[in-house]
Amino acid sequence: MSDDGRSAALKQRRTEPFSMVGVTWTDPELHVPGAIEVRTRLVESGQWSRWLRLDGDSGQGESGAARGGTEPAWVGPSDGIEARVRAGGSASSVLPAGLRLDMVDPGSGRITGMEPAAFAVDESGDPTAPASESGEPTPSTTEPEAPASSEPPTDPPVSEQPTPSESPSESVPPSPSTSGQPSPTPTVSAPPAPPSTAPQPPITSRADWGADESISPEEPGYLPGGKIKAVVVHHTAESNAYTCADGPAVVRGIYAYHVQQLGWKDLGYNFLVDKCGKVYEGRKGGIDRPVLGAHAYGFNTETTGISVLGTYTDAAPPQAAMASVARIAAWKLGQYGVDPAGTTTLTAGDSGLNYFGKTWAKGAQLSFPVIHGHRDGYNTQCPGDAFYAQLGTIRSWAAGPITGLAIKSVTGAGVSGTTYYTKAPLTVTWSATTPASLIARYELLVDGKVATTTAGTATSAAATLAVGSHKISVRAVHQSGRTTTTAAASVVAETTAPTFTTKPALALRTGTVNTTAVPLTLSWKATDNASLKEVRLTAPVSATYGPTTYSAARTAKSGVATTWSMTAYDRAGNTRTASVAGTPAILQESSATRSGTWSTKSSTSYLGGKSYSSSTKNASLTWTFTGRSAAWVVSRASTSGQAYVYVDGVKTATVDLKSSTTKYRDAIWTKSWTTSAKHTVKIVVVGTSGRPAVTTDGLVYVK
């Protein structure tokens, strides 16, 4: 310890194994405003941890406490420690008398203390070295110090004293716990255990987490008024690095520290929660009774205390832990008809100052949120900035109704705009921000009536609808009975299949012709009495078209019969199929009946390697075929002329073959009929001045 009494340090020191540490001092009323930090050597890795700052005041207000101290810190299995303590910034600040470093092994129950004399310079600098013969004491197990004075402590405020009844007739045994067994019924007269409006969450009993009842033989005390008016939320201000399996050991360590180091009658908190959401019974006396705890100085006599294991200054507890806090709070407050989202008036058992600088006198009537943080009633950072910011969420979860409820999807149904369509069965999926553990059930409503009921853990439900239009919604029932209902979704149930008002049909189209790719147009039209979704081409290739698309450009191999199959889908999933079959056929120019003068031209660019060309006016070629669509195929250049086209003896078109670029196998003219029949197509050379030549490569038809 320094000469001015303002700082002390314990150099790296080897110890017996421990997992929890705290710093205590003689005066239980004293607060240390400075920095108290420790770091430990981890057994598993042999590495030294980062410095961990301890809250300089446990600040609970236990009547008759033997010592003051920091909050205990869980550090995990360790076998070495280093500490440093510095008083506050004012010149008058000095360290408290009787400064001691206390280490707890929750497994063996061993408690090791290092007295002020141990806070000396370790000249060896070897963190693994045992205590030397230079006079530095080897740490040893010690009994907790008695108070510095043999005089009884100053009487605490009247409102802080428990007032158990002495009438045996008022003794009512506690209700059994739903998880593990509650503490044994105390022999003192206990207030009744009224039923709650909220279900009791699973709670690990003292026996199940391994409480050594021999170290706290005093009988429990109960709130003088027999009624809990508020819940004070805490964190234990220790490392968050513990595992879920460590939870019971952490609780045992806090229990040993509170009782054996600070001299309290029992663990200070009424309930503890680990980061995985497991709840532990704290101070004995009956989990369903208004047990007087030691967790909120000046306000213990009207409140119950819930503490989450860990430090939550920068990061809030996991949702599982927050949900458990909300469940305990709702259950305990529900025993006394107190709204978790409301405010309450508490009577100060002593003068005080809170974290926000507000002061009050003993006996003052102060307004608090029913669920509030320790810092609201005491000058402490507890339960940490990040945790404190989540108290509104915890109030909402505890009180209800359920928040964030929304329909996410409707499967087994198609959607168009804001309307869903189904053939009848569907599944509705939803989500909510309130944890499932606080939700009693969900109800799927069809036209305002319950169609399906599910557990609060469910996220979907199925229903079968009658044909017609319906309104679907989801109602969530909080454990308090309060309800939330989503906006209604419009759903149409219908079983009528779509209709092909225009059956699929094939027609030749203009474009370049190859024997393996004859250009075709596939056309159709489908409608639905409710909402058409799409039309799918399923053979000979696959394609999907929107509800307002009625044709598509395709190609087919010449000489091969092909069936084009289509299926229309409506939004509800009803379907209708239709198809058309056709075979493109190529009639070479040599198969035509000729008149006038025609010459043969050869090139691999022509269909079949040859074509006919003529510049003779009125020279003609005539093809006869049986089919439902035809296309005249030509070669084109800048010098190409014109031709007349006659169909079944009637002139139907004048076609100009002129092109700025040379083209081969070009389907330049097409004609289609609704049914297949015998037709003739005749082309006649016009004899255009300056460019009379017409080169034909054949005729293509669909049969």
pLDDT in tens, 566-617: 999 999 999 999 999 999 999 999 999 999 999 999 999 999 999 999 999 9
Structure tokens at 180: 């593990």
For 6, phi then psi, to 5°, come to -100, -10
Total number of residues shown for the chain: 703
Q: Which residues contact 409 (CB under 8 A, 6 or more apart)?
A: 428, 429
Whether the CB-CB separation of 50 and 76 falls below 8 Å is answered with no
Structure tokens at 491: 């759903």
The pLDDT score that the predictor gives to residue 462 is 96
Alpha helices of 347-432 — where are they, by DSSP H?
Answer: 385-388, 391-399
CA 506/CA 519 separation, integer angstroms = 10
List residues bridging with 537 in a β-sheet. Answer: 543, 566
CA 142/CA 113 separation, integer angstroms = 6
pLDDT, mean of each 10-residue run, the chain (703 residues): 63 82 84 81 89 72 79 87 75 71 81 58 37 31 34 33 32 36 58 95 97 94 96 89 92 92 93 98 97 94 96 94 98 98 97 95 98 95 95 98 96 93 94 97 97 97 96 97 97 96 97 95 97 97 97 96 97 96 96 96 94 97 97 97 97 97 97 96 97 96 96
The pLDDT score that the predictor gives to residue 37 is 86
Query: Long-range contact list for 263-266, CB < 8 A, 24+ apart?
Result: 263/28, 263/62, 263/64, 263/65, 263/66, 263/67, 263/144, 263/147, 264/60, 264/62, 264/65, 264/66, 264/294, 265/62, 265/64, 265/216, 265/218, 265/294, 266/216, 266/218, 266/220, 266/294
The pLDDT score that the predictor gives to residue 582 is 96
Structure tokens at 665: 């196998």
Structure tokens at 137: 């004491």
For 61, phi then psi, to 5°, come to 90, 45
Instruction: Count CB atoms within 10 A of the CB of residue 512.
Output: 14
Whether the CB-CB separation of 670 and 506 falls below 8 Å is answered with no
CA 230/CA 302 separation, integer angstroms = 7
Instruction: Count CB atoms within 10 A of the CB of residue 109.
Output: 15
Structure tokens at 132: 């030397």
Whether the CB-CB separation of 647 and 629 falls below 8 Å is answered with no
The pLDDT score that the predictor gives to residue 2 is 54
CA 574/CA 171 separation, integer angstroms = 69
Q: Which residues contact 244 (CB under 8 A, 6 or more apart)?
A: 274, 275, 276, 278
Place of tokens 């909300």: 326
The DSSP H or E segment spanning 552 is: strand 551-556
List residues bridging with 347 in a β-sheet. Answer: 365
CA 405/CA 456 separation, integer angstroms = 12
Whether the CB-CB separation of 277 and 326 falls below 8 Å is answered with no
